[in-house]
Structure 1
Amino acid sequence: MQLTKEELSIIREECNCYESTRAASIEALKIVQKNYGWVSDDAIVLIAQILHISVSDVEGVATFYNQIFRQPVGQNIIRYCDSIVCYVTGCNAIKKTLECILNIKIGNTTKDNKFTLLPTCCLGMCDKSPVIMINEDVYSHIVLSKINKILNLYR
């Protein structure tokens, strides 16, 4: 894997905004993911070389943040909240409905690469539970009968 001159420039510029290059690693990971959709092992090694830090440091940052994808994902990322509040208000039924409609299990991607289904521990909208997030769009007070309609917006 190789990064473009523009990507390298942006990563180096980000390094100037932080006290250490390790602190800039999250931004470097975001840049790679934005352009490639996910962060491969080769990208982890490359970022470590660019930032002059260990591969394990970059890997540690990449695996800590659930917004960094370490395997290919679909065009649309569906996150369903499984916090205690969403659990009480029906997230299990939402999860089962999404799995049934999409014909995938949690953590998987549809065969057409349109959707990846992931749990998340909290979306910060407990007063509007249950909640799902598709890409950057949040849907609250989810009703099972409306899930298919919501998904159709992304098909």
Structure 2
Amino acid sequence: MEKGKDPTLRRPPTFAEKYENYNKSRMKSESEQKQNAKTSEPSMVQPASDKEKAGTWEKGKMAKIKDRYEKLRTTILSWENEKKTKARRQLDRKESEVEKRRARATKKYHREIERINKIAGGARVTMEERKRNDESNTREKAKLIRKKGKVSATCFCF
């Protein structure tokens, strides 16, 4: 360290000093680049021509477009499959409901037929019983008429 100069007591640089330093460093880098360009050997790889650049750019863009639309296609396909399975589940549910309703209707029909047969059977039994009673009564009256020889009056008219 130098005598009399304390590093903490240095004054900060002014704007002009900063700008001067900036310009010097910029000028140095530009001059170095020019010297390097003059002294450097020509590279083996030449820059791509405009056609090659356009081809490369086109391939890159086409790949991006292909990827984007492939993602969109898979999204559409998954949406379609989801909707189709949902529709199939609803159809199956409706069909099972229809089958259940059909089974209930068939069961109700059989119960109704059973009830009708029961009522009709009872009516037939009652009818057959009345028929036998009427036939029996008629035979007995016919016996009485044959025995007495005349028709008896069943009506008492005054």
TM-score (normalised: structure 2): 0.14
Question: Per chain length, whose mean CA-contact separation is higher, i.e. which structure has more relative contact order (CA < 8 Å, sep 6+)?
Answer: 1
Q: Which has the higher strand share?
A: 1
Q: Which has the higher helix share?
A: 2
Q: Is the radius of gyration larger for structure 1 or structure 2?
A: 2
TM-score (normalised: structure 1): 0.14
